[in-house]
């Protein structure tokens, strides 16, 4: 097992706020934070099952995706590639020794930065909107060992695609590169926007396996960041309902349909709803790949889609983004009057706000358990079982 020390980027990166803190202490802090959030909102679950951490072998190198930014650490200084400096969004810290990612990510980052320096490329400037290099996105299939490398540039001329591909393919990597992509983005917003996607080598997706199912993950599809941990979380979340056999299930905010397809192995039928159209198309393709004919997917806002649906599910599963669910969506979910709702949350603060509304509308919080799926960072996941009180 690797011997990890406090990361050399810790002074400026700030991604891992618990550097040097013993793991059991990290878990205790996170569990206490969730308890405090619930207490402030007067939420008292029948069972609060504490927090489950990652095994020792999965506390590092667990991230399967990183989005790096080109920039400089000091104004007009040498080009850097990595993360935004804590408390200073304009500065970029090169993070080529990050301990949360496979070492191949660090090698690809370092090569990409050295390549930029050697070629004399400039980073895209957020204020002048000039320059070539914007972001580097690296993704990995944990179970398949496939890497997907996506360099994001402006449409400014001069990027040597052939030299970049050849350099990447010569790197001494542990995993295999499945695809090398170039995304063109001239949008002035400081985020990755795909205006054109070019396949420079290989394919524009990688494959992953979760809970016995195959998933094709495209360049911009959302996918669970820690595969090992999310398998445990999903398994325990779905086990909160005793039996899905013969039941109709709504999977809301379904993303690429991971939970939907696991549910489809047990339930009579599953409907997944997700705002991002690309994610829905990926979900449909993955369902075909896994031979699942009893799950369907619809792209759209959860509230707007549900407003047009007449059928009533037996169970509802929700896995919303960090902002949680808006009050209209909660009202609509409550209107179905289902006996059980499984809530999977990546943000305890918005979970507590939503739970307050569910409680007011006649639901009881029967069970809550926390998961530390992102050791070293501030993030905590939760699963929750809600049951409708008998009138």
Check pLDDT > 60 for residue 251.
yes
Determine the angle formed by the axes of helices 327-335 and 348-360, rounding to 10 degrees: 50
- Region 26-53 average pLDDT: 97
Q: What would the mean pLDDT of 368-386 be, rounded to a whole number? A: 96
Asked if the model's pLDDT at residue 359 lies above 50, the reply is yes
Spatial CB neighbours of 5, under 8 Å, sequence gap ≥ 6: none
| Residue intervals in the chain for CATH 3.40.50.150 | 15-57+222-388
For residues 319 and 258, is the Cβ–Cβ distance under 8 A?
Answer: no
Average the pLDDT over 40-55 and give the result: 97
Q: Is 128 helix (H, G, I), strand (E, B) or coil?
A: coil
For tokens 């969004």, the residue is: 89
Distance CA 7, CA 346 (A): 25
User: pLDDT grade, residue 88 (50/70/90)?
Assistant: confident
pLDDT in tens, 195-204: 999 999 999 9
At 391 the pLDDT is 67
The dihedral over CA atoms of 74, 80, 84, 86, expressed in degrees to the nearest 10, equals -50
CA count, 13 A, side-chain hemisphere, 233: 31
Q: What is the pLDDT of residue 266?
A: 94
- List active site positions: 346
Task: Write out pLDDT tens, residues 262-289.
Answer: 999 999 999 999 998 988 999 999 999 9
* Cβ count within 10 A of residue 305: 18
The average pLDDT across 107-128 equals 95
Confidence of residue 75 (pLDDT cuts 50, 70, 90): confident
Q: Which residue has 């349909």 as its token pair?
A: 257
pLDDT for 371 equals 98
Residues 56 and 60: their CA atoms lie apart, in Å, by 8
Cα distances (angstroms) measured from residue 184 to each of 153, 195, 282, 313, 382 = 5, 6, 22, 42, 37
More confident residue, 127 or 144: 144
Strand order in the sheet with 363-371: 47-52, 363-371, 381-388, 340-345, 315-318, 248-252, 269-274, 295-299
How confident is the model over 331-348, as a mean pLDDT? 96
User: If pLDDT is split at 50, 70 and 90, which confidence band does 4 have?
Assistant: low
- Counting Cα atoms < 13 Å in the Cβ hemisphere of 227 gives 22
Are the beta carbons of 264 and 247 closer than 8 angstroms? no
Burial class (CB in 10 A: 0-12, 13-18, 19+), 20: exposed
Whether residue 170 has pLDDT greater than 90:
yes
Answer yes or no: pTM beyond 0.75: yes
Using DSSP bridges, classify how beta strands 315-318 and 248-252 pair: parallel, antiparallel or unpaired. parallel
As beta bridge partners, residue 207 has: 216
| Structure confidence at residue 1 as a pLDDT band (50, 70, 90) | very low
CA–CA separation, 134 and 18 (whole Å): 29
**Rounded-to-integer distance, Cα 383 and Cα 371, Å:** 8
Q: Please state whether 82 falls in left (phi above 0), alpha (psi between -120 and 50) or beta.
A: left
> Is 214 annotated as ligand-binding?
no
Both tokens of 247, joined, read 């039941």
Q: Is 319 annotated as a binding-site member? A: yes
234 is in an annotated binding site: no
Residue 210 confidence (pLDDT) above 50: yes
Q: What is the chain's length?
A: 391
Q: What percent of the chain has pLDDT over 90?
A: 83
Q: Could you give the CA distance from residue 181 to residue 285 in angstroms, rounded to a whole number?
A: 21
The CATH classification number of 65-210 equals 2.40.50.1070
- Please identify, in words, the CATH class of the domain defined by 15-57+222-388: alpha beta
**138 closest CA partner among 109, 161, 98, 175:** 109
Q: What residue ranges of the chain are covered by domains with CATH 2.40.50.1070?
A: 65-210
- Residue 309 pLDDT exceeds 70: yes
Residue 196 corresponds to which tokens in the numbers above? 């054109």
Which of the four pLDDT bands, split at 50, 70 and 90, describes residue 2? Answer: low
Average pLDDT, the chain: 94
**274 marked as part of a ligand binding site:** yes
Determine contact, residues 260/297, Cβ cutoff 8 Å: yes
Please report the pLDDT score of residue 321 as a whole number: 93
Over residues 152-158, the mean pLDDT reads 96
* Residue of higher predicted confidence among 6 and 129: 129
How far is the first Cα of the chain from the last one, in angstroms, to the nearest whole number? 56
Higher per-residue confidence, 16 vs 140 = 140
At residue 336's C-alpha, the angle toward residues 333 and 339, to 5°, is 95
pLDDT at 373 over 60: yes
């Amino acid at each position: 097992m690797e011997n990890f020390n406090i990361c050399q980027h810790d002074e400026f990166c700030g991604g891992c706020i618990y550097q040097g803190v013993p793991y059991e202490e990290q878990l205790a802090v996170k569990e206490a934070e969730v308890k405090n959030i619930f207490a402030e909102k007067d939420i008292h679950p029948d069972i609060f099952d504490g927090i489950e951490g990652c095994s020792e072998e999965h506390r590092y190198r667990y991230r399967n995706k990183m989005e790096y930014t080109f920039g400089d650490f000091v104004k007009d200084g040498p080009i850097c590639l990595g993360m935004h400096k804590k408390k200073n969004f304009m500065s970029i810290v090169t993070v080529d020794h990050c301990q949360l990612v496979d070492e191949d990510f660090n090698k690809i980052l370092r090569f990409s930065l050295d390549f930029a320096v050697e070629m004399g490329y400039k980073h895209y400037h957020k204020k002048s909107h000039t320059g070539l290099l914007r972001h580097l996105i690296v993704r990995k299939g944990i179970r398949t060992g496939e890497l997907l490398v996506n360099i994001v540039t402006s449409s400014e001329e001069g990027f040597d695609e052939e030299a970049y591909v050849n350099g990447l393919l010569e790197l001494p990597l542990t995993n295999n590169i499945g695809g090398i992509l170039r995304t063109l983005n001239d949008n002035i917003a400081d985020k990755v926007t795909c205006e054109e996607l070019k396949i420079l080598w290989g394919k524009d997706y990688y494959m992953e396996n979760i809970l016995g199912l195959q998933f094709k993950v495209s360049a911009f599809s959302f996918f669970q960041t820690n595969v090992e941990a999310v398998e445990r979380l999903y398994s325990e979340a779905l086990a909160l309902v005793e039996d899905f056999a013969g039941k109709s299930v709504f999977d809301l905010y379904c993303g690429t349909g991971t939970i939907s397809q696991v549910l489809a192995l047990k339930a009579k039928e599953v409907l997944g709803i997700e705002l991002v159209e690309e994610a829905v198309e990926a979900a449909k393709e993955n369902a075909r790949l896994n031979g699942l004919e009893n799950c369907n997917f619809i792209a759209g806002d959860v509230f707007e889609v549900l407003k047009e649906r007449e059928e009533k599910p037996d169970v509802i599963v929700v896995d919303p983004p960090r902002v949680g669910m808006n009050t209209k969506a909660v009202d609509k979910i409550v209107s179905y009057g289902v006996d059980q709702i499984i809530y999977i949350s990546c943000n305890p603060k918005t979970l507590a706000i939503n739970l307050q509304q569910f409680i007011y509308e006649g639901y009881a919080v029967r069970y809550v358990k926390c998961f530390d799926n992102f050791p070293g960072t501030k993030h905590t996941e939760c699963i929750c079982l809600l049951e409708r009180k008998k009138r």
